[in-house]
């Protein structure tokens, strides 16, 4: 079966409660990750950018680079099909 690398962009709307002297300081606090409390998160969807078929060597290279990531337990190196 063919192997593909699918690239997507996910977009989220986040809302924060911030104490600040004015709106500009409040926005700066969010951008700088200072004194903010996330109160709401909503997914606005995921857009597929592309899908590229990988040969076994390319697939194994991606698997090897992901072995320290959160998907390592679900990926396995493949032999030529």
Q: For residues 47 and 50, give the distance between their C-alpha atoms in angstroms, rounded to a whole number.
A: 9
Q: For residues 64 and 58, give the distance between their C-alpha atoms in angstroms, rounded to a whole number.
A: 10
| Statement: residue 63 has pLDDT above 90 | no
Higher per-residue pLDDT: 1 or 24: 24
The string of pLDDT tens digits covering residues 10-52 is: 999 999 999 999 999 999 999 998 888 999 999 999 999 999 9
- For position 70, what pLDDT does the model report? 61
Query: Which residue ranges make up each domain of the chain?
Result: 3-74
Average pLDDT, the chain: 87
Q: 58-67: long-range contacts (C-beta < 8 A, 24 or more apart)?
A: 58/5, 59/3, 62/5
**DSSP secondary structure letter of residue 35:** S
Find tokens 């700088």 and name the residue.
32
* Residues paired with residue 7 on neighbouring β-strands, in sequence order: 50
- For position 61, what pLDDT does the model report? 85
């Amino acid at each position: 079966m063919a192997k593909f690398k699918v690239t997507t962009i996910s977009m989220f709307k986040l809302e924060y409660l911030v104490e600040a002297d004015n709106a500009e300081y409040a926005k700066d606090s969010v951008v700088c990750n200072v004194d903010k409390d996330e109160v709401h998160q909503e997914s606005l969807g995921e857009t597929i950018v592309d899908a590229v078929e990988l040969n076994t060597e390319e697939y194994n290279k991606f698997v090897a680079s992901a072995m320290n990531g959160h998907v390592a337990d679900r990926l396995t190196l493949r032999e030529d099909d």
